[in-house]
Amino acid sequence: MAHELPALPYAHDALEPHVDKATMEIHHGKHHAAYVTNLNKALAGSPVESQSLDQLVRGIAAVPENIRGPVRNNGGGHWNHSFFWKLMAPKAGGTPTGDLAAAINAAFGSYVDFQAKFEAAGIGRFGSGWVWLVANGGKLEICSTANQDNPLMGKAIAGCEGTPLLGCDVWEHAYYLKYQNKRADYLKAFWSVVNWAEVAKAYAAAK
């Protein structure tokens, strides 16, 4: 079955003023939609056409070489954005609680230290990519990937490995209309829309 663009779980303007309506319209309706279209194009008639998105991303090294590049970029893009929309919510933000909060404190010292490290990793990603909180072998780690690579692709390919719990898109298309060159301000604003209940769900599943 062809891959499909998931509906946004909220209205385009629901994350205002932190993420603006125009950015959400273009980001979901144009950028994410293009990843889905181009993924389907790359997969058409190939031996991995019937694989799930998760199988394609985790098994990227086994995707036939003639389509591996486009599947890596567009399959990664589809996975990353589908995950990203759910990680944000209107009237969200606040701080993590329960097991997740304890694991963040254990790994990074405090929630504030975690935020500083996550922001620094996002600012430090040269060009386009993502910053991630991952569960890797029972430990929480922060890392970043280039382009549309995903930690599930593994260290050899993505330079980062583990199960994504939280991810933030640091491509300019994610913030330029509102924040222009100020990626740091966008990363600070991101905390106001993080859906910690969804992150906690991913953490519970990864354990």
3-state SS record for 134-158: EEECCEEEEEEEECCCCHHHCHHHH
Footprint of Mn ion on residues 21-80 (CB under 5 A)? none
Tokens 């519970």 correspond to 204
Q: How far is the CB of 169 from Mn ion (least distance, A)?
A: 4
- The minimum distance between CB 64 and Mn ion, in angstroms, equals 26
Q: 27 vs 43, which CB is nearer to Mn ion?
A: 27
Number of residues interacting with Mn ion: please give it, by CB under 5 A: 3
Q: Which stretch binds Mn ion (CB under 5 A): 1-9, 42-50, 89-97, 169-177?
A: 169-177
Interface with Mn ion in residues 170-189 (CB under 5 A):
171, 174
CB closer to Mn ion out of 170 and 200? 170
Closer residue to Mn ion in complex, CB, 108/118: 118
Smaller CB separation from Mn ion, 149 or 169? 169
**Reading across the β-sheet that carries 139-146, which strands appear in turn?**
139-146, 129-136, 163-169
In the complex, least distance from residue 121 CB atom to Mn ion, rounded to whole angstroms: 17
Instruction: Report, in Å, the least distance between residue 148 CB and Mn ion.
Output: 8
Q: Which is nearer to Mn ion, 49 or 172 (CB)?
A: 172
Of 149, 161, 169, 198, the residue at the interface with Mn ion (CB under 5 A) is 169
Assess 149 for contact with Mn ion (CB under 5 A). Answer: no
**Residue ranges that bind Mn ion, judged by CB under 5 A:** 169, 171, 174
